[in-house]
Amino acid sequence: MADYVLVTESGSDIHADTARRHGIVVVPMHVSFGNLSRDDDSFPPEELYESYRATGKLPQTSGCSPQDFIDAFDRIHGLYPTAQIVYLAYSAATTISYRSAHLAAEGRDYVTMIDTKSVSSALRLVVTNVARMIEVDPDVTPDELRAFVDDQVARIRFSFIPGDLDYLRAGGRLSNIAFLGATLLRIKPTVEVLDGRLVATTKRRGPMLKCVAQLVEDYCTREPMDLSRVSLTYSVGDEPDRALRAIVEKILVDHGAQEIEWVKSGCVIASHAGPGAFGISALAAK
């Protein structure tokens, strides 16, 4: 019988195989194509890209509803009535999901909610690290589990370069003037999650491969990092670009990285980053 069941959103880019392996319940966020709403991770991001190319309208994304969480909490509690549900939330500053879960958790003393202040591969890394810890120590106490999660949240670092700035412009996250200037100057902004919010921190100029290599080198050296596990995001195709992969993995291995995983983004993340995006997540050293 499970003592803890971990819950998170599909914006973690934890896909079905990983969720099954660790017993993680993934609640779907949503993507709307006009009047049609579809669950995130129920279709590939290429369909989103094709829809935008064909219509000029970027599908809209939304967080989980209270009913999504009510259904998830009820299902888990029915299967494991003595288990503590630990909801590791997609950054509350960026979506309604945390508020929805709060409403769904009212009157449920078996639900613990923690805002990870993370998205995409950073959230994936936090959640799967917690899952691994529970697998190694299934008798961990709630206080020990909370302390472990808090440490992960404090040390997680996430940076990404959008693949196509037009997606940021279409989503209202970049003005037309800024988009035009960045396109003409071949500027690739680096976006980081700082205290749960997406913040553009560095502007790099040149081809994507060059900018990604600079980002990874800077990521590994600007502060002491724990590179025992590194999670990398790509957003198009069945596997990352071979040239990009070779460059990134060489830099990481040169800096002592051990476990390196590549994960394709779901549609919620792809709608922000566009095709060809790159993201990197790891923990800062203790």
Tokens of 144: 């020990």
- Residue 179: the pLDDT is 39
- What fold is seen in the domain 2-29+60-153? Rossmann fold (3.40.50)
Q: Which of 143, 145, 120 is nearest to 135 (CA)?
A: 145
Helices (H) and strands (E) in the chain, counts: 11, 13
- Residue 250: the pLDDT is 98
In the chain, domain spans: 2-29+60-153, 154-282
Q: Residue 11 carries which DSSP code?
A: G
pTM equals 0.92
For the four alpha carbons of 157, 65, 79 and 17, in that order, the dihedral sign comes to negative
- Residue 166: the pLDDT is 74
- Res. 45: pLDDT tops 70: yes
- Res. 63: pLDDT tops 80: yes
Question: What's the CATH architecture for 154-282?
Answer: 2-Layer Sandwich (3.30)
The mean pLDDT value of the chain amounts to: 91
Residue-wise pLDDT for 243-255, tens only, equals 999 999 999 999 9
Determine the average pLDDT of the residues in 33-62.
92
pLDDT confidence tier of residue 27, bands split at 50, 70 and 90: very high
Under 8 Å between Cβ of 272 and 167: yes
Residue-wise pLDDT for 266-284, tens only, equals 999 898 889 999 999 999 9
